[in-house]
Amino acid sequence: MPELIYLFPGQGSQYVGMGRDLAAEFPLAAQTFAEADAALGFPLSRLCFAGPEEELRLTANTQPAILAHSVAVARVLESRGLKPVRVAGHSLGEYSALVAAGGLEFADALRAVRRRGELMQTAVPVGEGSMAAILGMSVEAVTALCADAAAGQAVCEPANFNGGGQIVIAGHAAAVARAAALATERGGRAVPLPVSAPFHCRLMMPAQKGLEPVLHSLTFRRLRCPLLSNVDAEPLDDPETARQALIRQVTSPVQWEKTMRHLLAHGEAVICELGPGRVLCGLVRRMDRSRKCFSLDGAESVRAALPELGAA
């Protein structure tokens, strides 16, 4: 049986219909969505399976929806005897990774990310913040254009170091727009992101302060396998370190390229993305085209991958 590395997607990977065929084919997945409904006190599963899209896109709904879908896939794999040797999650996905590694109870994680979404949404008034992906520029060049765009008066910072020549920036909307224009002038390309708030920058400090007591109220356990944290891109299995990493990640950039460099160097382990979409598999291929990545989203993809992954 090959060694497995699990990756868990973050916000932006959601879509109406997510998890529906998975729950229809695998009773354990259906049970996972039912647990999510009970933990949150509203039919999250119906929102995932049928929408409406405008409600699913609300940050406070999107975050538990992606978590539930990701954990449902992880549970199906575990029921077939599959266990990861390393886990990592992009932003919100770090909660999914913690649940999969046994560091956090599923119900606790659901309620925490629901509150996280509410806090992130209200940290910055709608329209005052934004994010953009900068393509084809170095870390140093993006850092410089952010500083030039901020001009010491606004916030404009790298938010996600995604690898493969992609760095996401976040901050005040006007400053991000100036940075996007500068990127074009300096030989790069900017793509505005359809997000509702400027995540992973200093403007999220109110959300970080609000989330801290929530996370301190939860029980964290030692992880069954190491997790690569967003903030440090270093493996951890200690409960308190995991808690502090979740607190710090709200205002810190996601060090995804460093995380993936570490994981790609981990022998010949098979990489799997668990949950909606295939964004993370795309980033894997941008960094190493020779490395295969299984995107485990719906029932068909999970069913097809089980034999190749060595499932019982």
**Amino acid in position 62:** T
Same domain, 12 and 141: no
Domain span at 64 = 4-123+203-308
pLDDT in tens, 58-92: 999 999 999 999 999 999 999 999 999 999 999 99
Same domain, 90 and 225: yes
pLDDT in tens, 9-52: 999 899 999 999 999 999 999 999 999 999 999 999 999 999 99
Specify the pLDDT at position 75: 98
Specify the pLDDT at position 194: 84
- The CATH number covering residue 149 comes to 3.30.70.250
- The CATH number covering residue 278 comes to 3.40.366.10
pLDDT in tens, 174-231: 999 999 999 999 999 999 998 889 999 999 999 999 999 999 999 999 999 999 999 9
Out of 173, 195, 217, pick the residue that ends a domain.
195
Tell whether the model's pLDDT for residue 267 goes beyond 80: no
Would you tell me how many other CB atoms lie within 10 Å of the CB of residue 196? 19
Is 130 known to be catalytic?
A: no
Specify the pLDDT at position 311: 86
Q: Which of 115, 78, 61, 70 is nearest to 97 (CA)?
A: 70
Distances in Å between the Cα of 153 and the Cα atoms of 122, 170, 265 are 22, 15, 41
Q: Which of 122, 128, 136, 142 is nearest to 210 (CA)?
A: 122
Specify the pLDDT at position 258: 96
Distance CA 260, CA 271 (A): 10
Residue range 117-125: mean pLDDT, rounded: 95
Task: Name 208's Cβ contacts closer than 8 Å, sequence gap at least 6.
Answer: 247, 248, 250, 251
The tally of CA atoms less than 13 A away on the side-chain side of residue 68 is 34
Same domain, 173 and 212: no
Q: Do the Cβ atoms of 74 and 96 come closer than 8 Å?
A: yes
Q: Do the Cβ atoms of 250 and 200 come closer than 8 Å?
A: yes
Task: Name 150's Cβ contacts closer than 8 Å, sequence gap at least 6.
Answer: 156, 157, 171, 175
Residue range 98-116: mean pLDDT, rounded: 98
pLDDT in tens, 151-169: 999 999 999 999 989 999 9
Same domain, 75 and 141: no
Phi and psi dihedrals of 134, rounded to 5? -105, 125
Same domain, 92 and 236: yes
Catalytic residue among 69, 90, 172, 200: 200
Catalytic residue among 70, 91, 252, 301: 91
Same domain, 113 and 141: no
| Minimum mean pLDDT range among 147-151, 248-252, 285-289 | 285-289
Same domain, 249 and 304: yes
Same domain, 94 and 156: no
- Helix, strand, coil tally for the chain in percent (to 5): 50, 15, 35
Specify the pLDDT at position 115: 98
**Mean pLDDT over the full length of the chain:** 96
Distance CA 56, CA 276 (A): 13
Out of 174, 195, 216, pick the residue that ends a domain.
195
Is 262 known to be catalytic?
A: no
Phi and psi dihedrals of 260, rounded to 5? -70, -35
Tell whether the model's pLDDT for residue 266 goes beyond 80: no
Same domain, 151 and 18: no
Specify the pLDDT at position 126: 87
Phi and psi dihedrals of 159, rounded to 5? -115, -35
Same domain, 172 and 53: no
For β-strands 227-228 and 86-89, DSSP reports them as parallel
Residue range 260-286: mean pLDDT, rounded: 92
Same domain, 295 and 226: yes
Out of 179, 195, 211, pick the residue that ends a domain.
195
